Amino acid sequence: MNFADSEVVGSILTGVGYVLCEAVEEADFVLINTCAIRDNAEQRVRHRVRELRAMQNRHANLRVGILGCMAERLQSRLMAEEDNVSFVCGPDAYRRLPDLLRQVREGQKAAEVELSTTETYADIEPVRLASNGISAYISIMRGCQNYCTYCVVPYTRGRERSRDPQTIVAEARTLFERGYREVTLLGQNVNSYRCGEVGFPELMAMVAELDPRLRVRFATSHPKDLSDELLQVMAQHENICRCIHLPVQSGSNRMLKAMNRKYTVEWYLDRVEAIRRAMPDCSITTDVIAGFCGETEEDHRQTLELFRKVRYDYAYMFKYSEREGTYAQRHLPDDIADEEKTRRLNEIIALQGEIALENNRQEVGREYEVLVEGESHRSKERLFGRNSQNKVLVFDKGDAVPGTYRRVRVDDCTAATLLGTLVG
């Protein structure tokens, strides 16, 4: 999401004459787009800001600004705490950046942190900042009002709002015409996308029907809203990728209730079954939090149990990090010791590692259509790409070129990668 937002910011600023630099040393402004979801994300930003201070000592014109969720959360406090920061700008205020930067050039400090109920940046064509020319993000909705009790996002990104579907389809079409072959539709909770008559399943169909050679992915789905209609639309369109990110957060009903997730383990497993019924080859990935308030050993064991049942292809695994202003911070004690959180997290990581490797072993001998993305990071002699399930395949170059589809047979694997041979 931040990556997509940075591309909108890039577009707004290049539109008024600013130029993107290759190196920090050449810059007059450094804008850091930030995440506030866990404390360690914020600590990394603070570390980076302090590193830039040394550079500012050598280069007096260099100004540092903070964008995104951390700017929204801390507002002017951030400029008081990090005195080399000249401006902060929240996620709904990027259209004000040209003004902000002008004020800063005049020697002032400035903050724009107002949230909006309507801003979607629908009319702004993002500059593709670090793009490979093959795969791009398209933001389709912003904000979240689910208020999971641990989560700061509803406070930093504001109310849910959906972007006009025609502008989304037009953006996807332009990308396809420029040679892109994959778009990922992004939102905090894409299943609650709605603009007039168009809900998320309809939107997916509209984008997928632009061209069968354009792959369509999406993230993220809240399990409570994953509808059978969406699964049907996916099953009917081969170019909608067979991969669903379905954050579970915990395998314990008691914890899910405390987290205000609005579903039970039974409901979640029913959704997993519905996915497998509609698309037996669909991969499923998740997010999970270890050591939330009041989590017992039994709750933790139930999370491990759920992981064994679902057998995720990939998981993003986190320790609970208390966030100021959330319901949990105000009402639930953060009562699991850090070492205990770490132990539980490590158990989940170890189990998921075994499952991912076992899942990948099952892939040996299968063939997949792979969208070739570029040279393998490990070896110039090999290429890498992804299959519809979003798994990375590495294979000998042969005559394959990035941006095209090729058939690859899987010969071997690690927990993270499939190793294969071009067969078509």
Tokens of 371: 């969208």
Regarding 37 and contact with ligand 5AD (CB under 6 A), the answer is yes
Pick one of ligand 5AD, ligand SF4, none as the site partner of residue 323 (Cβ within 5 to 8 A by kind): ligand 5AD
At 378, list the tokens.
Answer: 């490990």
**Cβ atoms within 10 Å, residue 83:** 10
Shortest spacing between CB 251 and ligand SF4, in angstroms: 16
Position of minimal CB gap to ligand 5AD: 287
Instruction: Provide, rounded to whole angstroms, the least separation between the CB of residue 346 and ligand 5AD.
Output: 15
d(CA 223, CA 241): 18
Of these partners, ligand SF4, ligand 5AD, none, which one is at the site of residue 198 (CB under 5 to 8 Å by kind)?
A: none
The single residue among 91, 247, 251, 420 that binds ligand 5AD, judged by CB under 6 A, is 247
DSSP codes of every residue in 299-358:
HHHHHHHHHHHH--SEEEEEE----TTSHHHHHS---S-HHHHHHHHHHHHHHHHHHHHH
Q: Pick what 320 binds: ligand SF4, ligand 5AD, none; C-beta below 5 to 8 Å, kind-dependent.
A: ligand 5AD
CA distance 327 to 283: 33
How many residues make contact with ligand 5AD (CB under 6 A)? 12
| Smallest separation (angstroms) from ligand 5AD to the CB of 423 | 37
Kindly state whether residue 287 participates in binding ligand 5AD, applying the rule CB under 6 A: yes
Q: Which of 74, 134, 186, 289 binds ligand 5AD (CB under 6 A)?
A: 289
Binder among 150, 176, 193, 312 for ligand 5AD (CB under 6 A): 150
**Closest CB to ligand 5AD among 38 and 406?**
38
**Which residue is associated with the tokens 């849910």?**
160
To ligand SF4, the closest distance from the beta carbon of 86 in angstroms equals 29
CB 261 to ligand 5AD: min, Å: 10
Nearest to 316 by CA among 256, 248, 418: 248
Residues that bind ligand SF4 (CB under 6 A): 144, 146-148, 151, 153-154, 188-189, 222
Say whether residue 151 binds ligand 5AD (CB under 6 A): yes
Using CB atoms within 10 A of its CB, is residue 237 exposed (0-12), middle (13-18) or buried (19+)? Answer: middle
Contact yes or no for 156/72 (Cβ under 8 A): yes
Listed residue (317, 256, 308) closest to 289, CA to CA: 317
Task: Rank residues 157 and 391 by Cβ distance to ligand 5AD and give the closer one.
Answer: 157
- Least distance (Å) from ligand SF4 to the CB of residue 144? 3
Cα–Cα dist 384/395, whole Å = 6
Contacts of 26 (CB under 8 A, 6+ apart): none
- Comparing CB distances to ligand 5AD, the nearer of 326 and 387 is 326
Strands 405-413 and 417-422: antiparallel
Nearer to ligand SF4, 218 or 395 (CB): 218
Q: Tokens representing 28?
A: 């007059």
Binding mask 298-337 for ligand 5AD (x = CB under 6 A): --------------------x-xx-x--------------
Q: Return the number of the residue (157 or 217) whose C-beta is nearest ligand SF4.
A: 157
* Cβ neighbours of residue 417 closer than 8 Å, sequence gap 6 or more: 360, 391, 392, 393, 394
Distance CA(235)–CA(245), nearest Å, equals 16
Q: Which residues bind ligand 5AD (CB under 6 A)?
A: 37-38, 150-151, 247, 249, 287, 289, 318, 320-321, 323
